[in-house]
Amino acid sequence: MRNLSLTVAVPILVFVLSALSPFESGASGDDFTLKYGLTPATGSWGDQGDGSFINPILNSNYPDSDVEEFAGKWYMISSKGLYMKGMTVLESEDLVNWEIIGGIVDSLTWKTSEGVWAGDLVRHNKEWLCYFIDFDKGLFVCKTDDIRGKWSKPYLILEKKGMTDPAVFWDYDNGQAYLLCNYRIEQQGNKRIYHQRLFKLSWDGMSLLDDGKDIYVEEGAEAAKIYKIKGTYYIFLSEWLTDNEGRKLDRRQVVLRSKNLYGPYEKKIVLEKGNGTDRSCCQGSLIQAPDSSWWYMHQLVQSKNSYEGRPQCLIPVVWENGWPLMGEDPDGNGIGNIVWKCRKPVQGKSIKMVQTDDDFSSPTLSPHWLWDGNPICGKWSLTARKGYLRLYSVRPKNPDRKYQSLPNKLLQRKMGKGRDTVTVKMSVAGMAEGQISGLVTTGYSFLSFGVQCTGGDMRISMELPDKVMTGNVVEGEFVWLKLIASENKIKFEYSVDGRAYERFGPEYTMETRGFNGIFIGLFSMNDNESGYADFDWFQYDYDGPKSVFLVQK
């Protein structure tokens, strides 16, 4: 695992960033179906269709990534906390275009307020293993023979509250496996000191063999990855830079190196914010492409003006005196910054961006959807009405915080920071008295827009955190609901024929919860749990690349 060969770095051609117009599909009306293999669209980020890409390559909330190569493809995982399936799995042929192929944890079977975080993905002994932390519970591992198939149930390796960010490493030269994690956090005045502890791991990866040893103790040092290159061990860590009052200034990427995994280590800061962004650049994976070039996949940490969560970026790496030099260094201080536009590591692969649209024609749910919490069996179906997603109504857990506490919301990540248009076609034929169904956006705040069944009438309904609005009666079986977002400003429209749309309610500014960004999805709610809504299709247009479309039949 991660024994890499250091080669002479090939030149990295960096292009000047150019402005691009947002992508608009122009599709409208009903009777849509998914189409693959159409001419892909480009946008203001990701693959540009000319052999280059613009960062971010995944302009949405994909935190805590880890990338592993196998059989000529790359596989990425990203944390999802309490959203299920926990730990999203993606696949790529060129490190720029990614498709969601599955998830790892079907549901949480233990009590927690945290969920699935900070994973490490490995291929060992013809198996895939994924290690992750639940901050409330401890260290888990799941495994599978087929990364696109079903994973084992989570197995608890070490029960301990407060651990974060596991990194595993098989040293095939020495016949020993290891696990490194942030084992303990202690407060020293205004500083939070993180203890990186190294454990011996059983060769099958299923148990710890000792009590571990602290090998690096520093302020805010977390998110470790271990590599062995030409006999030298490299540990990549992100590390907070703070002022004397403990205020966070930057989260920089650091590299430790040593001939001995237990140290002592030399240290170098290799990546910091700058070059046009106020967002910290850190935490990711070192990757070598087939042409022997080196790359680093990292996230952008949230800032006051980020609404899409933590997107993923890809930057070139060259080696000098045994140290990785990342990105470019426009200020000449010896520390790398993000590169905004660059050639693709692998040429000739077509655009294949993560899924967003759905016509619900498959009997299984597309892996790009996330349940808000554990999915509730029997409360949704893709077979009850062919070609539709049926959401049966559920009851909120907390009547004072209805939408925040509503289980069985079906969500996907907001894409990018430009103009978004989400349109759904919904049947109201199965709705019952008191039921509300439609679109929902969640973050720290929430918005819902749809149809409410009240007094036997189907009325347009919008709920904001501080008020509920109802509108015209909807005649007929179907209603078309549209969400239009500009950054974090949301407004809604509706139609009764799929062609002419009418604006409803005020524009609302969403707030995000921490680094998680904004999520958009579908819901069906009723205090007595009666009724259901059938969704015919879900179309999402945004300002980035797209390879799968809803088109008219």
* pLDDT tens-digit map of 33-57: 888 777 888 999 999 999 999 999 9
pLDDT value of position 323: 98
Q: Top-level CATH class of 64-283?
A: mainly beta
Residue 228 CB-half CA count within 13 A: 16
Mean pLDDT of the chain: 91
Provide CATH code, domain 370-552: 2.60.120.200
Span of 2-16, 250-264, 522-536 with lowest mean pLDDT: 2-16
pLDDT category of residue 10 using cuts at 50, 70 and 90: very low
pLDDT value of position 4: 59
Of 529, 535, 538, nearest in space to 378 by CA = 529
Span of 296-300, 339-343, 368-372, 464-468 with lowest mean pLDDT: 464-468
pLDDT category of residue 308 using cuts at 50, 70 and 90: confident
Q: Is the predicted pLDDT of residue 20 greater than 70, yes or no?
A: no
pLDDT value of position 306: 76
> For residues 309 and 56, what is the distance between their CA atoms, to the nearest angstrom?
12
pLDDT value of position 19: 29
Residues 6+ apart with CB under 8 A from 523: 391, 403, 406, 408, 409, 410, 436, 437, 438, 439, 440, 448, 450
> For residues 490 and 513, what is the distance between their CA atoms, to the nearest angstrom?
16
Q: Is the predicted pLDDT of residue 274 greater than 60, yes or no?
A: yes
pLDDT digits (tens, 9 = 90+) for 423-433: 999 999 999 99
Q: Is the predicted pLDDT of residue 9 greater than 70, yes or no?
A: no
| Rg from Cα positions in the chain | 24
What is the H or E stretch that residue 403 is in? Answer: helix 402-405
More confident residue, 245 or 257: 257
CA angle 95, 101, 102 (to 5 degrees): 130
Span of 114-123, 325-334, 542-551 with lowest mean pLDDT: 542-551
Pairing type for strands 191-201 and 213-219 reads: antiparallel
Q: Rounded mean pLDDT of 238-254?
A: 90
DSSP letters for 9-75: PPP--BPPP---PPP-----SS-EEEEEEEEEE--SSEE-SSSEEES-SB-S---S-EEEEETTEEE
pLDDT category of residue 2 using cuts at 50, 70 and 90: low
Q: Rounded mean pLDDT of 56-70?
A: 96
pLDDT category of residue 11 using cuts at 50, 70 and 90: very low
> For residues 450 and 468, what is the distance between their CA atoms, to the nearest angstrom?
12
What is the H or E stretch that residue 405 is in? Answer: helix 402-405
> For residues 279 and 389, what is the distance between their CA atoms, to the nearest angstrom?
38
pLDDT category of residue 207 using cuts at 50, 70 and 90: very high
CA distances from 429 to 1, 147, 186, 434, 535 (A): 54, 39, 57, 14, 11
Q: What is the DSSP-derived secondary structure letter of residue 351?
A: P
In what order do the strands lie in the sheet containing 519-525?
A: 83-84, 370-372, 410-413, 519-525, 436-442, 446-454, 457-464, 467-473
CA angle 65, 71, 74 (to 5 degrees): 20
- For 239, the token pair is 């590390």
Span of 16-20, 226-230, 238-242 with lowest mean pLDDT: 16-20
Q: Is the predicted pLDDT of residue 122 greater than 60, yes or no?
A: yes
Q: What is the pTM of this model?
A: 0.93
Q: Are 342 and 535 in contact (CB under 8 A)?
A: no
Domain ranges of the chain: 64-283, 370-552
Q: Is the predicted pLDDT of residue 124 greater than 90, yes or no?
A: yes
